[in-house]
Amino acid sequence: MASASLTAKLRTTVGKGAARKMRTAGTVPAIIYGHGREPLSLAIDTHTLDKLLEKVSYKTTVIELDCAGTVAKTLIREIQRHPFKRSILHVDFQELVAGEKVTVKVPLVFVGTPDGVRVGGGILDEVMRELEIIVDPSNIPNHIDVNVVPLTIGHSLHVRDLIVPDGVQVLDHPDQTVAVCAVPKAVAEPTPEETAAAAATGAPAAEPELIRKAKADDDAEGDEKK
């Protein structure tokens, strides 16, 4: 389980106008909820938050949120960003309690080179990138390893094939495909239309194949010239 620390301040002003002023002043509006508590409105330093998110995967990192001297273990549940500038507009924190399981998505890390790629020239298609699980907050894995070495061309791995830590309940369907070792695509011959288009653009045409006669025919032609 990864963890990090962050400091927040209580805020009393709410609404779009107040939020805009906060962002201009260098803070991000936030809220903390969960475990039967009343939601609290918070303010977080923008620069500090940006630096933290550069270092951790927030979906699987427990954030120890210090607000007015009271520290709560939390998960970031949602980050709202500006659609163009990508700056953070708002953050939702969920308070965690040991023994109270949470639903999270953890990244899948593909380990090794499939036999179908190494020997047969196949292509590894990573169909899933995350796994949705239920787990105690103290046991949230940073990621789930996926061993793809045994994969041969035309075969696939499914959710049921994954090895997950004890205490982790997988929510994705067992038959869902995780990865496939696909057959490499064949190089298609150019169509007459493609050939004509290449000629129109001045691209060099393919040289015609030289078909030689059999040696016996060559010898016969030589005898006739004598």
According to DSSP, residue 18 is labeled H
- 24 is a domain residue: yes
Where helices occur in 56-151 by DSSP H, the ranges are 115-118
Among residues 146, 144, 149, 147, which one has the least CA distance to residue 113?
149
The whole-number pLDDT of residue 203 equals 54
Neighbours of 23 (CB within 10 A): 16
pLDDT tens digits along 102-143? 999 999 999 999 999 999 899 999 999 999 999 998 899 999
pLDDT tens digits along 35-47? 777 889 999 999 9
Q: Are residues 86 and 125 in the same domain?
A: no
- 221 is a domain residue: no
- 191 is a domain residue: no
Domain ranges, residue 75? 2-96
Q: Are residues 44 and 119 in the same domain?
A: no
Give the CATH number, domain containing residue 55: 2.40.240.10
Neighbours of 42 (CB within 10 A): 22
pLDDT tens digits along 113-124? 999 999 989 999
- 11 is a domain residue: yes
Give the CATH number, domain containing residue 138: 2.170.120.20
Q: 99 — phi, psi (to 5°)?
A: 90, -15
Q: Are residues 70 and 110 in the same domain?
A: no
Q: Are residues 92 and 8 in the same domain?
A: yes
Straight-line distance from the first to the last Cα atom of the chain, in angstroms, rounded to the nearest whole number: 91
Which of the listed residues 68, 96, 124 is the one where a domain comes to its end?
96
Alpha carbon 218 to its chain's center: 64
- 69 is a domain residue: yes
> How far apart are the C-alpha atoms of 98 and 225, rounded to whole Å?
100
